[in-house]
A and B are shown apart, each in its own frame.
Chain A
């Protein structure tokens, strides 16, 4: 099987995710963009698993999903708390921790 199309798609999704993280100010959107990047990686993993015919890639994908789920729980909780105190979910406004 030719993995090119899958990998190109994975790259496109990853780039969209990266641009989302860099350009969007809303924390929820940035968060969704991070999910996009993770899933792009997952797509590359399963493609690899398919090409090589073993389960290593599948396993890695499952790990990423579990970690992402845990991350989402904590991340959303933080975003929610920030929103409650500042009435805004803009990542640029939460810039107190600096020099």
Chain B
């Protein structure tokens, strides 16, 4: 039954891609149907799981024997693990995924490749579901690569634009670096534990030496950095905004980029066993959450600003996942609430772009609240959720992360608190520049509200963004729900919870007020004379420069050196051999004089020599 969740969208994608233009008419509807039925099956499974007692909630279904090398003791089944963690993801992916499919119906209605777009979306949903449902790391890796492929195809969907093609390639290459980490981690697991299934690894790591969990943990962290756009592999996410906006909402905000967090939480036993690896996770999360927020605060492109925000929010999740059992639950909680509020804001951004002739420059928006009432309200709910105003979803998840971080160490707590202030600043800036302030668009642009197929998903998602926090944290429901899988320890922050909430809210209020003061007047063109910090933030904190200096330039130097080596040494040897043979033969050629008598002489001499030799060796 659970296999159908993956099979339906996979089948739909295969049909749409293989039957081609014949499916143009009903293709998008079939894709929506596949995704929606996945959600319904997932929801049915969820209800069944609720009906079972807690200790029987993990169900492993072996679909078939996938790989087996008996000689090496290697056996991996195509098996799906349905537990509290994976069903949470299944519901998030299929619910948000279905809504974004519906949204794409309106957003992509004028695109002649609409069918292909829906095929890729279905492919993505199938791969992502495989990723979260796999019961072993190798099958997870298949889904992991599948979402990478779908992400590549969708970022470069408008491949006629060179920027989109380059962005897709960049995302793919950056992801490969992370994938390298995951594949090495899987190999290490097999060598040390002799198995790659979650249960065997969880058992094996208990008695393993410290270096095992440290090595695997760091390799998994590298994988998570690649997929989740965390420092130092973050640079692809901002460029990935070249893809259609529904893609940015689904893949690069709500689901795929959170796969890294899933990986860390799923490998909880490994990280629990290595404090160094955990600290590395926290540091990476803290750096990324601050970097993302700073980049998000400097971008005028609404999608890139949201991408910076995504990086920052995932930084929160990664940091929470690094805190160990006090943070895993909150990392997933924030992941789910973020899935809702970030998706609604991306869809809102898409709606705004739809209204303003695909303009992405926030400096040319302004005052859109007067013409786009649904977009404004839903976006504003997402805004309140992300900056963490009670009772919206982000308040609950982020507050818990702040509590957990504060009970871990002062510096982790300081990073998340400062990040909360920055979040409030850049989100307020975005809302002010887009929906409020004076209109700054061109005279020939006529903003209008988007069609129902686009506003409906936004309304549904905004309801989630508003209510998810209360629903999930009511009576510590989510903690109890996930505890059997991830483990849970109540955080013990140094201050009372009320004090922390007051501190957080005042930091958030400071951020909001600072942004309102800073952007009381907005220039139509970004000011040129800015401080060094703003320049750096506009250039993604020199992420690309760093990549170029550390990786691209040395790589090019290496290829140049190899080229020279090839030209001089390898070619030199081959050419030299040819020249040598040629030279010898042109000299030997002179012996062919054309005089019969000299040939006869050489025959005689040769025979004489032969005879003498035979006599000497007495044959």
Interface residues on A, range: 10 to 19
B residues less than 8 Å from A5 (CB atoms): none
A96 part of interface (Cβ distance < 8 Å): yes
Distance of A43 Cα from B594 Cα, bound (Å): 33
B64 part of interface (Cβ distance < 8 Å): no
Distance of A98 Cα from B595 Cα, bound (Å): 8
A98 lies within 8 A of B604 (CB) = no
A residues less than 8 Å from B601 (CB atoms): 22
A98 lies within 8 A of B594 (CB) = yes
Known: A18-B604, A22-B604. A92 touches B597 (CB 8 A): yes
Interface SS, A side:
loop
The stretch of B6-14, B270-278, B585-593 in contact with A is B585-593
Distance of A97 Cα from B594 Cα, bound (Å): 5
B600 part of interface (Cβ distance < 8 Å): yes
| Candidates B589, B590, B594, B600; contact of A95 at CB < 8 Å | B594
Distance of A16 Cα from B597 Cα, bound (Å): 15
| Candidates B589, B600, B604; contact of A99 at CB < 8 Å | B589
- Residue of chain A at shortest CB distance from B604: A18
Distance of A30 Cα from B595 Cα, bound (Å): 13
A22 lies within 8 A of B594 (CB) = no
A residues less than 8 Å from B593 (CB atoms): 95, 98-99
A28 to chain B, nearest CB (A): 13
| Candidates A21, A97, A99; contact of B597 at CB < 8 Å | A21
Kindly identify, within residues 51 to 78 of chain A, every residue whose CB is under 8 Å from any CB belonging to chain B.
Answer: none
B584 part of interface (Cβ distance < 8 Å): no
B594 lies within 8 A of A96 (CB) = yes
| Candidates A22, A25, A94, A97; contact of B600 at CB < 8 Å | A22
B614 part of interface (Cβ distance < 8 Å): no
Distance of A42 Cα from B594 Cα, bound (Å): 30
B residues less than 8 Å from A18 (CB atoms): 604
Kindly identify, within residues 163 to 195 of chain B, every residue whose CB is under 8 Å from any CB belonging to chain A.
Answer: none
A43 to chain B, nearest CB (A): 19
B72 part of interface (Cβ distance < 8 Å): no
B590 lies within 8 A of A99 (CB) = yes
Residue-wise interface mask of A (73-99) relative to B, using a CB-CB cutoff of 8 A (1 in contact, 0 not): 000000000000000000110111111
Distance of A40 Cα from B369 Cα, bound (Å): 122
B residues less than 8 Å from A30 (CB atoms): 596-597
A78 to chain B, nearest CB (A): 12
**Which of B590, B596, B601, B604 gathers the greatest number of chain A CB atoms within 10 Å?**
B596
B592 lies within 8 A of A99 (CB) = yes
- Residue of chain A at shortest CB distance from B595: A95
A56 to chain B, nearest CB (A): 21
A residues less than 8 Å from B597 (CB atoms): 21-23, 25, 30, 91-92
A21 lies within 8 A of B590 (CB) = no
Distance of A25 Cα from B595 Cα, bound (Å): 10
B residues less than 8 Å from A94 (CB atoms): 596
Distance of A21 Cα from B596 Cα, bound (Å): 9
- Residue of chain B at shortest CB distance from A95: B594
Distance of A92 Cα from B594 Cα, bound (Å): 8
Distance of A80 Cα from B593 Cα, bound (Å): 23
Known: A99-B589, A99-B590. A91 touches B604 (CB 8 A): no
B residues less than 8 Å from A23 (CB atoms): 597
A residues less than 8 Å from B589 (CB atoms): 99
B419 to chain A, nearest CB (A): 85
Known: A18-B604, A22-B604. A98 touches B596 (CB 8 A): no
- Residue of chain B at shortest CB distance from A19: B604
A98 to chain B, nearest CB (A): 3
Kindly identify, within residues 560 to 619 of chain B, every residue whose CB is under 8 Å from any CB belonging to chain A.
Answer: 589-590, 592-597, 600-601, 604
Distance of A30 Cα from B600 Cα, bound (Å): 11
B595 lies within 8 A of A92 (CB) = yes
B395 to chain A, nearest CB (A): 96
B600 to chain A, nearest CB (A): 5
Distance of A85 Cα from B596 Cα, bound (Å): 18
A91 lies within 8 A of B596 (CB) = yes
Residue-wise interface mask of B (335-359) relative to A, using a CB-CB cutoff of 8 A (1 in contact, 0 not): 0000000000000000000000000
B residues less than 8 Å from A92 (CB atoms): 595, 597
B residues less than 8 Å from A96 (CB atoms): 594
A residues less than 8 Å from B594 (CB atoms): 95-99
Distance of A83 Cα from B594 Cα, bound (Å): 17
B93 to chain A, nearest CB (A): 80
B600 lies within 8 A of A98 (CB) = no
A16 to chain B, nearest CB (A): 14
B residues less than 8 Å from A25 (CB atoms): 597
Distance of A95 Cα from B597 Cα, bound (Å): 10
Distance of A5 Cα from B593 Cα, bound (Å): 40
Distance of A18 Cα from B597 Cα, bound (Å): 11
A65 to chain B, nearest CB (A): 22
A82 to chain B, nearest CB (A): 11
Distance of A92 Cα from B590 Cα, bound (Å): 17
- Residue of chain A at shortest CB distance from B592: A99
B247 to chain A, nearest CB (A): 73
Distance of A21 Cα from B597 Cα, bound (Å): 7
**Which of B595, B597, B604 gathers the greatest number of chain A CB atoms within 10 Å?**
B597
Distance of A1 Cα from B152 Cα, bound (Å): 101
Distance of A91 Cα from B595 Cα, bound (Å): 7
Distance of A98 Cα from B594 Cα, bound (Å): 4
Distance of A95 Cα from B604 Cα, bound (Å): 20
Distance of A98 Cα from B596 Cα, bound (Å): 10
B residues less than 8 Å from A91 (CB atoms): 595-597
Distance of A99 Cα from B597 Cα, bound (Å): 16
A83 to chain B, nearest CB (A): 15
Q: Which residues of chain B have a CB within 8 Å of any CB of chain A?
A: 589-590, 592-597, 600-601, 604
Q: Apart from A22-B601, A22-B604, A98-B594, what 9 extra A-B contacts exist at CB < 8 Å?
A: A21-B597, A22-B597, A23-B597, A91-B596, A95-B593, A95-B594, A98-B595, A99-B592, A99-B593
A-B contact pairs, 25 of them (CB 8 A): A18-B604, A21-B600, A22-B597, A22-B600, A22-B601, A22-B604, A25-B597, A30-B596, A30-B597, A91-B596, A91-B597, A92-B597, A95-B593, A95-B594, A95-B595, A95-B596, A96-B594, A97-B594, A98-B592, A98-B593, A98-B594, A98-B595, A99-B589, A99-B593, A99-B594
10 tightest CB-CB pairs across the interface, nearest first? A98-B594, A95-B594, A99-B589, A91-B596, A99-B592, A21-B600, A95-B595, A98-B592, A97-B594, A98-B593
